[in-house]
Amino acid sequence: MQPQAPKRPLFERLLPYMQIAPLALLLCFFLLIPLVMIVTVSFWNYNGFQVVPDIVLFNYTEMLGSATIWRTLFSTILFTLTTLAVTAALGFAIAYHIAFYVRTPLMRTVLFMACTIPFLTSNIIRMISWVPFLGRQGLINSMLMDIGLIDQPLDFLLYSRFAICLVYVYLFTLFMVTPLYNAMSRIDRSVIEAAIDAGATPVQIMFWVVLPLCKTGFAIGAVFVITVVMGDFVTVRIMGGGHSATTGYLILNQISLLQYPAACANAVMLLVVVMSAIGGLLRGVDIRKAL
């Protein structure tokens, strides 16, 4: 009969729970409780003056039966996919150059600092700075007219879907650069040398070696981009000029009209869409390897 292991002291048994308690409390107060409140209020009733605590399905039936809601959701998804595609391409090109062509660590640090310095200012200031460039009398239109490429100013440059996507790419490309560079820096250079010795061309190395080994970087960057873009409303409000709408912008308008239950129902729908997209994206990728 094996001797019974000595019983550990109470403090030693409680130590792991004490270590995770601060994070658990933060997640509870700032994530779980707000989510529960949003879901609860989404079932309440409301009129033009007050919110009535009740259990009704009106907010969801009205939302699911509204063509405007579905068009707005489609517009949100389209903005997200466009931004995701462009930021993935730009982020991969920038990260590839830094990882494989910049030799000295000092120069890599300088390039990363150049990418991150704009984040020291507000996103609103950075997106407003595009207005003098994209306006009818802006620098781009003036330059194109001066060199004779156009006769009239281009109206689609500002207060349009193009302007919204351009600012999204400008704001969130770094969210792709960082995880992709992290994934590329972990690639064993002997693998690339073996591919070269086997006669692989640079294009084949790019598509058959580098890209498969960077899928965790793409996944992490996509999580950031999808989450931020689908919940954004400030960029749409400023750069869209009222001509475009997203689900986040719709929720903002409902809150301004004191339609809190309807806004919560749309927030729940947006949360389901975002979590479904992220879940499908991470289904075949283990991002814990890159963390």
* Share above pLDDT 90 across residues of the chain, in percent, rounded to a whole number: 38
Q: How many helices (H) and strands (E) would you count in the chain?
A: 17, 2
- Whether 263 shows a pLDDT value over 60: the answer reads yes
41-55, 186-200, 249-263, 276-290: the lowest-pLDDT one = 276-290
Q: Convert the pLDDT of each residue in 114-146 to its tens digit.
A: 878 877 788 888 888 898 888 888 889 889 898
Quick one: CA dihedral 139, 140, 146, 151, positive or negative? Answer: negative
Task: Give the pLDDT band of residue 266 (cuts 50, 70, 90).
Answer: very high
The predicted pLDDT at position 185 comes to 86
- Whether 220 shows a pLDDT value over 70: the answer reads yes
Domain range annotation of the chain? 54-290
- Whether 17 shows a pLDDT value over 90: the answer reads no
- Whether 4 shows a pLDDT value over 70: the answer reads no
- Whether 186 shows a pLDDT value over 60: the answer reads yes
CATH superfamily assigned to domain 54-290: MetI-like (1.10.3720.10)
Q: What is the mean pLDDT of residues 195-207?
A: 86
How much is the mean pLDDT over the chain? 87
Helix H segments across 10-122?
10-27, 33-41, 58-64, 67-100, 105-116
Confidence (pTM): 0.87
Q: Which of 276, 273, 210, 213 is nearest to 69 (CA)?
A: 273
Q: What is the mean pLDDT of residues 33-51?
A: 89
- CA 34 – CA 36 distance, rounded (Å): 5
Token digits of residue 224: 């950031």
256 vs 112: which has the higher pLDDT: 256
- Whether 284 shows a pLDDT value over 90: the answer reads no
- Whether 291 shows a pLDDT value over 60: the answer reads no
Q: What is the mean pLDDT of residues 210-221?
A: 90
